[in-house]
Structure 1
Amino acid sequence: MVLPEISIDAVLAAEPLVRPFVSPAPLIRSYPLERELGLPSDRRVWLKDFGWMPSGSFKLLGALNWMAHHLDEIGDRPVVAHSSGNFASGIAFAGLCFGRRVIVVMPETAPRVKFEKTRAFGAEIQTYDISRDHETGERDRLTRAIAQTEGAIQASPYDDPHIIAGNGVGALEIVRALKHEGRDLSTFLCPVSGGGLMAGMALGIADGFPSSQIVSVEPSEADDFRQSLELGRRVRLDHPRSICDGLLSYDVGEHNWPILQRLVTRAVALPDLATRVAMRWLYDQHGLRVEPSGAIGVAALLDRRVDLGTSGDLVVVLSGRNVDDNVFRSWIEVDARPAPAWNRIPS
């Protein structure tokens, strides 16, 4: 099967469809990370914080673009999708914006905050046992059954051209903001799972800053993309494991793979302990309660897993902040890296 090519033009076309419903996520300068990494005063580190989105993650960007392109096909029928939680609230938000009924299939162990946000936007939820899904295939079977019985249109959380293009709008925001400041970008770090975020982001970043290093980050026990990039073909993991519940896809999507293979410079995999340290660090240094999937890019920097080069700025994506408070508190009970001393005032 020949898949349609997804280009920067699709990302540019998505922005006017998304923008009426959501403002750009902030790009925040991280003085503490600049100090921690020992960068010279002419280099900066930026956090692209999608936790400020109405759904608490980036997922609504792709969902809005997908919904806008399928309104005629949907008509009076519902939309159904499976999700670990963030796409659930994203597609629910899109359904609210466009007046469409949404049904989502979520693991019964998903964070409570993801259930609450999904329901708050008006979606209906059915659950499944994720611990046995690699054996039973319950998630996909339940989603297909709902599509058949309800006559619903199924939305993929990541493996769809419109999802990819919508997520890429976030990269346009980054490029525009950096160029407005007269900055250059040397390194871009982003979490990868099914690849819907990373593929869209890579398209936008590579177009705006062609010489930048694009780095994917994922858990070491859910590193299907790192293995895929190394072997030159899509690798499936039957039972990925991590506290990063948003990064547990079995493999990279078919539409995403060609983009990622072409544009991603390096894939980094990290143990959950490094992610927990990054969560604690972000809380201590920035007051941010970031979910594990959102903090893993910062973990790659704190753990010195990325070659920073000698010039240009760094951008790290915080993909979401949907984590229950009691679980977050338990995860950050780790020794955080010591705050670096002020030995200069960054310019």
Structure 2
Amino acid sequence: MSSETATIAEVRTAAPIIHQHISPAPLIRSWRLEQELGLARGRRVWLKDYGWTPVGSFKLMGALNWMAANLERIGDRPVAAHSSGNFASGISFAGARYGKRVIVVMPDTAPEVKFNLTRSFGAEVRTYNIATDHQTGERDRLTRQIAEEEQAIQASPYDDPHVIAGNGVGGLEIVDELRRQHRTLSHFLCPVSGGGLMAGLALAIADGYPDAAIIGVEPAGADDFNRSLAAGERVRLDHPTSICDGLLSYDVGEYNWPILQKHVSTACSVPDEKTCQAMRWLYETHGLRTEPSGAIAVAAALTGKVSLEGEGDVVLVISGRNVDETAFREWIGTE
């Protein structure tokens, strides 16, 4: 792995590692979205739906590649990580595949489905108070404490070249499938939090379709990447807030930033109420349950937050589906 950050070559190297464990998440055409967005005849909209993975999100891709790359360093030691929930189950899945003990630090408010998934693959879970973490730094302190006391190797959920490269394999899958169908690509929309997913996907999309607009989508209350693009440097938010629990990182990762700055042309922010409407639209139109973080790219398209003018297809990333039933019903307004 290069010393600076991930490259497209390293994304390609990660592909056989990922595909040894899981099948590609499907890329599904949405005729209904094409109609809803009023696209010109001949243009298509595709959903890359990571809800189909064994952990219900994209996070196991980076986790698998990180685990495979660090096996020798880990040895008999445990792996420690913090996560809002999806990387927790991803690294837990990777630990189960490679026979490694995993300890994860999760917020006390994480959805029950994310706790259950993480434990189902054998990880030990410890919690912290997310309401005060911006003041106490409890999440990072707990994770460091585990690393020190248990001699654990620490894994980042997003700020690591191996994680970026693993996540980027999904971008190769998108490019391969679109090319197989002789399609062009004009716009690619993906959620941004720490940037581990978008950085990996951006490497592959920019390589396969260099003229495509690569657009980041964030919650309005957690728009550090949008601010970072405007400032030309990484901007940290002290207290990001949103129902999108998977998109509440304080800033984008150090390894992610140069990739994002180079390849992501635009970012937009979406109010939570619009994300809820997109969740409802996906459920009523496609029977698809998504967590808020997973629906936000669709929300950006439906609300016209970005212009989709041009020629070529549009790809929207659905990053995950892990949401508790009660919360889901409340957010889509059917409780």
* Structure 2 segments unaligned to the other structure (5+ residues): none
Shift of residue 3 of structure 1?
Answer: 5.4
Shift of residue 237 of structure 1?
Answer: 0.3
* Deviation per residue, 1:6-54 (Å, 9 max, x gap): 2100100001111110000000100110000111221000000000000
Structure 1 partner of 2:241: 241
Aligned residues: 333
* Deviation per residue, 1:200-245 (Å, 9 max, x gap): 0000000000000000000011000000000101000010000000
Shift of residue 309 of structure 1?
Answer: 2.0
Structure 1 partner of 2:276: 276
Alpha-carbon distance in structure 2 between the residues aligned to 1:6 and 1:16: 16
Structure 2 partner of 1:96: 96
Shift of residue 144 of structure 1?
Answer: 0.3
Alpha-carbon distance in structure 2 between the residues aligned to 1:233 and 1:3: 20
Structure 2 partner of 1:320: 320
Alpha-carbon distance in structure 2 between the residues aligned to 1:315 and 1:164: 19
Alpha-carbon distance in structure 2 between the residues aligned to 1:3 and 1:254: 12
* Structure 1 segments unaligned to the other structure (5+ residues): 335-347
Cα separation, partners in 2 of 1:285 and 1:117, compared to 1, 3 Å: same
Do the aligned residues in 1 keep the contact of 2:62 with 2:166 (CA within 8 Å)? yes
Q: Give yes or no for the alignment of 1:210 onto 2:210.
A: yes
Query: Aligned residues: percent identity?
Result: 67
Amino acid at match of 1:214: I
* SS in structure 2 at match of 1:267: strand
Structure 1 length-normalised TM: 0.95
* Deviation per residue, 1:231-278 (Å, 9 max, x gap): 101000010000000000000000000000110010000110010000
* Deviation per residue, 1:32-79 (Å, 9 max, x gap): 100001112210000000000000000000000000000000000000
Superposition pairs for residues 120-269 of structure 1, below 5 Å? Answer: 120-269=120-269
Structure 1 partner of 2:108: 108
Cα separation, partners in 2 of 1:111 and 1:5, compared to 1, 3 Å: closer
Alpha-carbon distance in structure 2 between the residues aligned to 1:276 and 1:153: 38
Do the aligned residues in 1 keep the contact of 2:5 with 2:256 (CA within 8 Å)? no
Do the aligned residues in 2 keep the contact of 1:46 with 1:315 (CA within 8 Å)? yes
Amino acid at match of 1:321: R
Structure 2 length-normalised TM: 0.98
Alpha-carbon distance in structure 2 between the residues aligned to 1:248 and 1:323: 16
Alpha-carbon distance in structure 2 between the residues aligned to 1:5 and 1:333: 42
Do the aligned residues in 2 keep the contact of 1:103 with 1:125 (CA within 8 Å)? yes
* SS in structure 2 at match of 1:131: coil
* Deviation per residue, 1:77-122 (Å, 9 max, x gap): 0000000000000000000000100000000100000000000000
Structure 1 partner of 2:292: 292
* SS in structure 1 at match of 2:131: helix
Query: Which structure 1 residue ranges, 4+ long, deviate > 6 Å from structure 2?
Result: none
